[in-house]
Structure 1
Amino acid sequence: MSPHHFFASAPKHMGSLLAEELIRLGMRDATEARGGARFSGTLEDGYRACLWSRIANRILFPLAQFGVEGPDDLYAGAADIPWEAHLTPDHTFAIQFDGNLKGVNHPHFAVLRVKDAIADRFTQRYGQRPSVDLEQPDLRIHVYAHQDGVGISLDLSGESLHLRGYRDSGSAAPLKENLAAALLMRAGWPEIAAEGGALLDPMCGSGTLVIEGALMAADIAPGLLRERFGFHGWLQHDDAIWARLLGEARIRRDAGIKRLGALRGYDQNPNAIRVSLHHLERAGLAGLAHFERRELTDCQPGRAEDEGLVIVNPPYGERLGAPDELPALYAHLGAVLKERFVGWRAALFTGTPDLGKHMGLRALRMHTLYNGPIECKLLHFQVEPRYFVSNQPRPLAPEERSPGAVMLANRLVKNLKSLRKWQRDEQITCLRVYDADLPEYALAVDIYEGEQRWVQVQEYAAPATVDPKRARHRLREALGLIPEVLEVPGEQVFFKVRQPQKGLNQYERLAETRHFHAVMENGHRFLVNFEDYLDTGLFLDHRDVRRLIGRLSAGKRFLNLFGYTGTATVYAANAGAAFTTTVDMSRTYLDWAQRNFNLNHIAGSEHELIQADCLRWLDLMAGRRRYDLIFLDPPSFSTSKRMYGTLDIQRDHAKLIRSTMRLLEPDGTLIFSNNLRRFRIDLEALSGLDVTDISAETLPRDFARNPRIHNCWQIRNPAV
């Protein structure tokens, strides 16, 4: 029996999150689509999505899709659907129309044409027709028109799924339940809850964030409170399947409630607290979360040992809050977080992200979501001193420096002189001039040149044995003298803390200045960004690897996996590659890659950019594509929810390499690289392949002081 196809609708910018959720629910082929996500499966899968989706608005069961030129084609297409298989003349129905249809100026006219088609079909066959009931129909029908095409579906949901059933009133400007769930998912609450973490909303309003957080933490299906769904009046409804799903959900709820941790909501408005407590009771969670009237000034964890997530949707001037009062409110919120919630994560949802700058915390990343028609940002913070904006080091003046600073200055001058001839001969404008040469100054200093000169200074995280005050003093010394020695204005020196990263953290956004600068490398031009990310978009230690790729690419089909900003692809394309494919999971970095292509006048369908999980893409492309040259440069570790699976490069590299080799031509070359300092390649697991270590010959001279930063192998199929 062929699977059914479904469409789950979602608010704007929530389609990818919905697809991820559906995959976790067992719909492995779920993919983001315009307005939501598509998936296929059994009728039970459709029911499960109705019961368990926290993100979807509706689950639609498509009946027909056809082209239309106008209202008459809409009538004909609707009349061809075997409606008698879905309802009887004694049923009632309602129709919702979305989109735009040629020749129809008002959606009500389109609804009338579909209604007439259904009524006429029943009248011709049975002499009677079902009635329309706009309030509580037995069956809801959804019609969507787009670009001369129409899709007609059954709405298995009935009312929108964001209406869980626990909320019958609210304070001003409440969040919809599925938006609240999306914020919690983006903020990492499910993982925090699984580890026993706490949740706190200091401006809880009607309690939606806390209650949705409780439903997640206790593994309670969001649809469990609803008495009716759209499929209950459908002729093909299978009540036995539905009863089984309900039974399973109740068992999970009863078990999950026992594991529920600390959830708290505060608000200065006593009426908001009364509403929150009422909603908590309606959700069947009375006594399992704590709501209390409390001013922001008095906000603190429930217990000293608590740690977890603070999530807040403060006023931002669109509906609530006087604009001239909001900066002080956000500053107050930031001060409370820095004083009492060190070690917690925090997430702030706002329609005016500039207000977040008043918090005195650096946002590590952000997501765009919509609150109704209002475009908003979810800002993510780690409440730790190194991210306190006021904690940024102030450079020391010359008279404040110690003798050690003179040693650092001398080393910088010596390194510059040593590298100058090599730099000139190799036409290198972006290079590392210092890499913790002196143990007391554990910094990496990189120069980038384009129309101007910029310097990036990265501080390696100091071990616990180093006195933080002394380390900070040395850092301030360095930041004072580096602009002088390298002849760069202070505003063109950028500072970051470099420390071991987990997952894709090294690629996550730190800010959103969008300040890009063009630099040169071996005749190629690249855009770099010094402020928004930990890395600049150009890995300097890969310079010689990129040059090797250029030498090998002429006339070849080139694949760049985990392609980042596409710099290796630029080398291949400019060297005359016949075809290039760049694959990365991040839309941000693929857009950056496209800008690098444009900067180098690389255009045409022979240079494709693909947004995909590389692990899944490799599986999909096996036996379907072949390349002459492949560059595989994966992250050391990744647990991104958007990935097909987790990736630990030490554990998984042999499997990943063999999967990649399936796409390599028999006489092709794979270049495998990574930056895991303790990496050991498993030659036994790669037996049968020709593996050559080229780490030393692809290590640039300016990185020779610390060769562990760079691992690279050339891998080929064995000679026949």
Structure 2
Amino acid sequence: MSKHVFFVTCPKGVEYLLVDELAGFGLVHLRNAPAGAWVEGELAAGYRACLWSRLANRVILQVADTGARNADELYDGVVALDWREHIPAKGSFRVTFLGQNEAIRNTQFGAQKVKDGIVDSIRGAGHPRPRVEPKQADVTVSARLNRGRLSLGIDLSGPSLHMRGYRTDKGIAPLKENLAAALLMRAGWPTIYADGGDLVDPMCGSGTLLIEAAMMALDMAPGRRRENFGFEHWPGHQPELWLELKQEAERRAYEGKQRRLPVIAGYDQDPRVIATAWKNIQRAGLEGLVHAEARPVADLEKLASMAENGLVLTNPPYGERLNERRELAGLYGELGQAVMAQFPGWRLGVFTGAPEFGKSLGIRSFKQYKLFNGKLPAQLLLFEVREENAMTPRDPEASGRVQPGIVNEERAGMLRNRLRKNLKTLGQWARKQNIGCFRLYDADMPEYSLAIDLYEGRVHVQEYAAPKSVDARAARERLAEALAVIPEVLEVDPADLVCKQRQRQAGTSQYEKREASGDYFPVHEHGCVLRVNLRDYLDTGLFLDHRPVRYWLQTHAAGKRFLNLFCYTGAATVHAAVGGASRSLSLDMSNTYVDWARENLALNGLDARKHVVEQADCLSWLADPKTRRQVFDLIFMDPPTFSNSARMKGVLDIQKDHGTMIRHAMERLASDGLLIFSNNFRRFRLDEDLAEEFEVEEVTGSTIDRDFQRNPRIHRCWHIRHRA
């Protein structure tokens, strides 16, 4: 049989598990992609992935790869293909489209061009026009645009493969079925049940983990009860082959029930949710094989019939979905106590978007896996339930929350006076400069090692981590005093004050989500509107120290082509565009910040066709010879000090890599253009050879505004030009 190439998608963070699973179906790994993998194999292996994959979302059969640098090239590539092989005569089709480039910025436009090409190809061959059905189509054509190439395929899946058909009723914030399967695999369930172990979920919700665990143990194909797949009306479909695979799945499901069945039990304190779990268990054909009952975590007990080894795996609430963070330490503590008492020798797995509460369990974790629950970063924490792994439980909320209160009135009075003085002088200056956000206080007094920033009526306080020589209790007392004084002097509601501890950040941790309040609000700077969020990240979405650089861009960007590398939330792009930049391209590796940047541009009424924001690894983009054709008059590059994100092909070390990045950026800079290079690494030294190749001028002094005069080393900045 002939070989085919398939693109198989999966939840983010599950790619490596997916590759191993697909290999078991006879599919050879070609390369990974974000949230998916390219593989090769026979059509039977693709069918097997649709039927048996516990991790995949979609299986897409590759049809062709064609140039798509612009709309005409895309259309020409599509119309040249013989679509009669893939669209049934008198049948219907639809197109899903992902990706964009400079010429094709809208997915609806891209999908329309693909549809036009398919229709014209079929009509040009003398056949009737096929119907386009946006929902219930016979065949779905998948089009994925990336770097000027269009990948075209047939979606063999139909509805996403995570939809097994057993879950029509859902509990609160349910796990998707394929994510539940990934958690079970990461937690070692296949090995545990093979060794005679059992499974318990103390907070089972609608029962997804229980059902997926049972289907694994019983060798039941996850797609066995699905009613339709995307390939069933595809002209290349081989019904006999598919029937053979389905019969094999039925035989294996029957044989699976003949061997030893693990005990699989789930509990939840909400009887309504347990009723939903029972319905899902029945629809999955697991009635009598999976147990669920209403019971709180504190009353968790090991059944007499359970083995000496097993897995406790659960997805407890973590504040994002239930807004109960203050109660979470108690809940996690109850879970840890119950598991230690009832399940010694077992393994515990906790999947949570608030991994800091893992410390409240009172057990040392031996492994952590970073995953995503939808778009929310989360972790799977694994523990071996043994006495030697016990530890004192800690409440991360209590340890991080300091109640306002004055211990030393004289000392607090000194802070009060300093804040009033700064507010008078800096407040007047900010109003005259048309600045809505500024730094009011930056560790002016050694007793109060804080940075205090004002954001138009709200306050962002960062406590610099005290050195080990400072008594922790004394540091907390002073912070408590500051939290009492700040709202009083600034006349703000304490609820509008956010306090964080600022420490040395590793990797991308400064950009990682800390909370999930969704509390975004607009602020103003030199006539621009920008969204900020004081709560959910270590930083707020606006680097206040770069304000002079942004204003310089605003006043010098008229008529210029602007490139913003490592764009973060796109504030620099907003200023350049408001200042009259003819077009701009902004790149960042984080989808969160790409979306944020687009929202900032939209807030200012800027044309998304002229001012494009794309998700990209800037290191790879700069190294790609294909991007050198793009020329810019003005480039701003403010990279992180270090990054080892999973999205990147390598590691970014600003000291080691800046010379190469600057040289690559200069290849895209017009002959009379300007590159503004900045970073905040305190020990940074600019590559001396750059001054031999280019005109290099350090301009740091002019980029430190009045509110940052106490901390002039907060960043460094250079202007770099081509030599005449």
Whole-angstrom distance in 1 between the partners of 2:59 and 2:678: 44
Aligned to 2:474: 470
Aligned to 1:661: 666
AA at the equivalent of 1:692:
E
Aligned to 1:692: 697
Residue in structure 2 matching 1:676, options 660, 678, 681: 681
Aligned pair in 2 of structure 1 residues 607, 349: CA closer, same or farther (>3 Å)? closer
Residue in structure 2 matching 1:627, options 629, 632, 636: 632
Whole-angstrom distance in 1 between the partners of 2:29 and 2:667: 28
1:629 deviates by: 0.7
Q: How many percent identity over aligned positions?
A: 43
Structure 1, residues 98-152: CA drift from partner, whole Å, max 9, x if none?
9799xxxxxxxxxxxxxxxxxxxxxxxxxxxxxxxxxxxxxxxx943689xxx98
Aligned to 2:388: none
1:587 deviates by: 2.9
Aligned to 1:61: 61
1:630 deviates by: 0.8
SS in 2 for 1:690: strand
Structure 1, residues 35-87: CA drift from partner, whole Å, max 9, x if none?
xx5x656549997998898732554434589xxxxxxxxxxx9995499xxxx
SS in 1 for 2:693: coil
Whole-angstrom distance in 2 between the partners of 1:428 and 1:328: 36
Aligned to 2:331: 333
SS in 1 for 2:459: strand
Aligned to 2:33: 30
Residue in structure 2 matching 1:527, options 509, 526, 531: 531
1:498 deviates by: 1.5
Whole-angstrom distance in 1 between the partners of 2:38 and 2:442: 53
Aligned pair in 2 of structure 1 residues 388, 615: CA closer, same or farther (>3 Å)? same
Structure 1, residues 460-512: CA drift from partner, whole Å, max 9, x if none?
12223322222111111101011122232322222122222222221222223
**2:13/2:371 contact within 8 Å kept:** no
Aligned to 1:396: 405
- 2:569 maps to 1:565: yes
**2:352/2:379 contact within 8 Å kept:** yes
Whole-angstrom distance in 1 between the partners of 2:507 and 2:692: 29
**1:564/1:590 contact within 8 Å kept:** yes
Structure 1, residues 229-258: CA drift from partner, whole Å, max 9, x if none?
x9xx999x9xxxxxxxxxxxxxxxxxxxxx
AA at the equivalent of 2:140:
Y
Residue in structure 2 matching 1:428, options 418, 428, 435: 435
AA at the equivalent of 1:678:
R
- 2:451 maps to 1:440: no
1:379 deviates by: 5.4
Aligned pair in 2 of structure 1 residues 447, 3: CA closer, same or farther (>3 Å)? farther
1:647 deviates by: 1.8
How many pairs align?
545
- 2:321 maps to 1:312: no
Aligned to 2:654: 649
Structure 1, residues 128-180: CA drift from partner, whole Å, max 9, x if none?
xxxxxxxxxxxxxx943689xxx98596x99998899xxx9xxx999776322
Q: Please, which moves more after superposition, 383-392 or 655-664?
A: 383-392
Structure 1, residues 415-446: CA drift from partner, whole Å, max 9, x if none?
33443554344333321111112222111101
AA at the equivalent of 1:616:
S
AA at the equivalent of 2:611:
H
Residue in structure 2 matching 1:551, options 547, 552, 555: 555
SS in 2 for 1:459: strand
AA at the equivalent of 1:394:
Q
Instruction: Show the 5 A alignment for 1:115-154.
Output: 143-144=139-140
Structure 1, residues 267-291: CA drift from partner, whole Å, max 9, x if none?
669xx9xxxxxxxxxxxxxxxxxxx
Aligned to 1:117: none
AA at the equivalent of 2:602:
N
- 2:418 maps to 1:416: no
Whole-angstrom distance in 2 between the partners of 1:425 and 1:31: 47
SS in 2 for 1:572: helix
Aligned to 1:576: 580
1:384 deviates by: 9.1
Unaligned 5+ segments in structure 2 are 21-27, 66-80, 97-137, 144-151, 189-198, 214-219, 225-230, 232-236, 242-263, 269-273, 275-294, 302-311, 340-347, 362-369, 382-391
SS in 1 for 2:713: helix
Q: Please, which moves more after superposition, 172-181 or 601-610?
A: 172-181
Whole-angstrom distance in 2 between the partners of 1:674 and 1:54: 44
AA at the equivalent of 2:591:
R
Aligned pair in 2 of structure 1 residues 48, 504: CA closer, same or farther (>3 Å)? farther
**2:498/2:534 contact within 8 Å kept:** yes
Aligned to 2:502: 498
Structure 1, residues 616-636: CA drift from partner, whole Å, max 9, x if none?
333444322111111111222
Whole-angstrom distance in 2 between the partners of 1:473 and 1:430: 28
Aligned pair in 2 of structure 1 residues 463, 547: CA closer, same or farther (>3 Å)? same
- 2:619 maps to 1:612: no
**1:553/1:629 contact within 8 Å kept:** yes
Whole-angstrom distance in 2 between the partners of 1:334 and 1:673: 44
**2:567/2:586 contact within 8 Å kept:** yes
Aligned pair in 2 of structure 1 residues 564, 234: CA closer, same or farther (>3 Å)? same
Aligned pair in 2 of structure 1 residues 491, 349: CA closer, same or farther (>3 Å)? closer
Aligned pair in 2 of structure 1 residues 421, 210: CA closer, same or farther (>3 Å)? same
- 2:591 maps to 1:587: yes
SS in 1 for 2:552: helix
Aligned to 1:461: 465
Whole-angstrom distance in 2 between the partners of 1:489 and 1:562: 35
**2:183/2:380 contact within 8 Å kept:** no
Aligned pair in 2 of structure 1 residues 206, 483: CA closer, same or farther (>3 Å)? closer
- 2:709 maps to 1:713: no
Structure 1, residues 394-422: CA drift from partner, whole Å, max 9, x if none?
2115xx44422122222223333443554
**1:46/1:59 contact within 8 Å kept:** no
1:712 deviates by: 1.4
Structure 1, residues 690-711: CA drift from partner, whole Å, max 9, x if none?
3222222211221121222212
Aligned to 1:178: 178
Unaligned 5+ segments in structure 1 are 66-76, 84-95, 102-141, 191-198, 214-221, 238-264, 273-293, 301-308, 351-355, 360-364, 370-375
**2:200/2:266 contact within 8 Å kept:** no
**1:21/1:53 contact within 8 Å kept:** no
Aligned pair in 2 of structure 1 residues 416, 63: CA closer, same or farther (>3 Å)? closer
**2:181/2:209 contact within 8 Å kept:** yes
Whole-angstrom distance in 1 between the partners of 2:693 and 2:265: 63
1:569 deviates by: 0.8
**1:63/1:154 contact within 8 Å kept:** no
Whole-angstrom distance in 2 between the partners of 1:607 and 1:420: 33
1:615 deviates by: 2.5
AA at the equivalent of 1:312:
N
Whole-angstrom distance in 2 between the partners of 1:597 and 1:154: 34
SS in 2 for 1:388: helix
Aligned pair in 2 of structure 1 residues 440, 613: CA closer, same or farther (>3 Å)? same
Whole-angstrom distance in 2 between the partners of 1:480 and 1:211: 51
1:555 deviates by: 1.0
Aligned to 1:68: none
Aligned pair in 2 of structure 1 residues 160, 144: CA closer, same or farther (>3 Å)? closer
Whole-angstrom distance in 1 between the partners of 2:44 and 2:445: 62
AA at the equivalent of 2:332:
G
Aligned pair in 2 of structure 1 residues 63, 696: CA closer, same or farther (>3 Å)? closer
SS in 2 for 1:393: coil
- With structure 1 as the length reference, what TM-score do the two structures score? 0.60
Aligned pair in 2 of structure 1 residues 470, 181: CA closer, same or farther (>3 Å)? farther
AA at the equivalent of 1:602:
L
Aligned pair in 2 of structure 1 residues 690, 82: CA closer, same or farther (>3 Å)? closer
AA at the equivalent of 1:586:
S
**2:589/2:616 contact within 8 Å kept:** yes
Aligned pair in 2 of structure 1 residues 469, 329: CA closer, same or farther (>3 Å)? closer
